[in-house]
Amino acid sequence: MTERSELYPAIEPHRSGMLPIDAIHTLYWEESGNPQGVPVLFLHGGPGAGASPKHRQFFDPAYYRIIIFDQRGAGRSTPLGELRDNSTQHLIADIEYLRELLGVERWLVFGGSWGSTLALAYGEAHPERCLGFVLRGIFLCRLWEIDWFMRGMRQFFPEAWQRFAGYLPEAERDNLLGHFHTRLNDPDPAVHMPAAKVWSVYEGECATLQPDPAVQANYGADGVALGVGRIEAHYFVNRIFLPENDLLANVGKIAHLPMITIQGRYDVLCPPVSAWELHQAWPGSSLEIVPDAGHSAWEPGITRGLVRACERMKTLLA
C-alpha cells in the first residue's frame, strides 16, 4: 500500500462550543472525526493566529478523534486580542481543562510554529497526558529566535522588513519590539489596528518559499492581524513566560514518547537549526527536512509531510 500524503476531504465538526474559562476569556472548541478514535489535539500557531476548518484535514477522520480549539484571544475565542490573563501557563491550564471536559485520558499533540512551542511546553508540564507529538516549524522562543524575527529576517526579506521597520519613526527603530508593543496595546483601534496589520503582513510575506497570495491575504485579514500582532508581541516581550532555553532543557521529560518533526529547509520564520537541536536532544525522534519549502503548513511538501507523519503515528501508537 502507498502511504497517504494528501489532505483528507473536508469535514464538519460533530460537536463544538464556546467554553468560558474565567471572567474574561471564552474559548472556541470543536471535535470531529471518530468519537471513539485516538484523540489528537491540534495547536495553532501565532500565538494568536487561530485555527481553520482546513486544519481538520491533516487527520484520518476514521482513525482520529480530532480536537481543535482557538487559544486565548485568538480566532473565534473572545475577546479577540485580549492580553489579560494570557500566558503560556494559562494556555497549558486551558488544554488540561479541555482535556478533562472531553474525557480524554491521553492524546497525540500536533502543533506547528508557535503550536510546536506550546506542544512542548504542555508536554513537559503534563507528560503523562501525551501519546506523542507531530510538530512543524520548530520555535523554541529563545532570545536569538525572537531577535531573528524582529531583525534577522531582513537578511532574506529586506523589502518586507523595510516595510515592517519603516512603519515606526526612525527614532523608534532601535527597539522595534518595544515600540510595536506600545502601539499594539493602545486602546484606540486607529493606533493598534494599523500596527497589527503591518506586523502580521510582515510575517505572512516571510512565511513561504514562493510568494503565496492566499497566505498573505490571510495574515492581512483584520481578525488574524489583531490576534497575531498583539499576542505575538505580548509573548515576545514576556519571553513566553518561561526561562531562557527552558523547552530544550526539559525535553528529557517527554523524550520517551514518539515525535515526528516536519521542517522546511528554507523556513525563515523558524530557522531549521532549532528543529535540528530538538531532534538531537530527543533520541528516537524523527526529523524530515523538506527541501523545497519555507514555513507555512500549506506549502505542498510541508502539507504532505504532516499527513504522512499522522499516518505513521498510527503504527507508533498501536
pLDDT block averages, 10 residues each, the chain of length 318: 84 98 97 98 96 97 98 97 98 98 98 98 98 98 97 97 97 97 97 96 96 89 93 97 97 98 98 98 97 96 97 94
7 lies in some domain: no
pTM, rounded to two decimals? 0.97
19 lies in some domain: yes
- Write b or e for each residue in 236-271: b if 16 or more Cβ atoms lie within 10 A of its Cβ, otherwise e: bbeebbbeeebbbebbebbeebbbbbbbbebbbbbb
Which pLDDT belongs to residue 185? Answer: 96
Residues 71 and 111 in one domain: yes
Residues 292 and 251 in one domain: yes
- State the helix-helix crossing angle for 213-220 and 222-237, rounded to 10 degrees: 70
Which pLDDT belongs to residue 219? Answer: 93
The C-alpha atoms of residue 311 and residue 288 are separated, in whole angstroms, by: 14
Residues 258 and 222 in one domain: no
CATH number at residue 289: 3.40.50.1820
Query: Do residues 279 and 138 touch, judged by C-beta distance below 8 A?
Result: no
Q: What is the enclosing helix (H) or strand (E) of 137?
A: none
Residues 247 and 204 in one domain: no
Residues 124 and 271 in one domain: yes
What is the number of domains present in the chain? 2
HSE of 280, CA atoms in CB hemisphere, 13 A? 7
Q: What is the DSSP letter of 45?
A: S
Residues 92 and 106 in one domain: yes
Residues 138 and 257 in one domain: yes
Which pLDDT belongs to residue 2? Answer: 61
4 lies in some domain: no
Residues 97 and 24 in one domain: yes
| Dihedral over alpha carbons 142, 42, 46, 257 (to 10 degrees) | 10
Domain boundary (240, 271, 303) is at 240
Domain boundary (240, 265, 289) is at 240
Which pLDDT belongs to residue 1? Answer: 47
8 lies in some domain: no
Residues 41 and 136 in one domain: yes
Domain boundary (200, 219, 240) is at 240
1 lies in some domain: no
- Give the contacts of 113 (CB within 8 A, at least 6 positions apart): 45, 46, 136, 137, 139, 269, 270, 295
- Which cell goes with 47? 500565538
90 lies in some domain: yes
Q: Which residues on neighbouring strands pair with residue 259, listed in sequence order? A: 133
Residues 265 and 136 in one domain: yes
Query: Do residues 230 and 200 touch, judged by C-beta distance below 8 A?
Result: no
Nearest to 187 by CA among 161, 226, 158: 226
Is 117 in a helix, a strand, or coil?
A: helix
Residues 41 and 102 in one domain: yes
Chain centre to alpha carbon of residue 289: 18
Domain that holds residue 205: 144-240
Total Cβ atoms within 10 A of residue 164? 23
The C-alpha atoms of residue 143 and residue 36 are separated, in whole angstroms, by: 42
Question: For residue 122, which phi and psi values (nearest 5 degrees)?
Answer: -65, -45
Residues 308 and 186 in one domain: no
Active site residues: 113, 267, 295
Nearest to 50 by CA among 262, 275, 226, 310: 226
HSE of 306, CA atoms in CB hemisphere, 13 A? 28
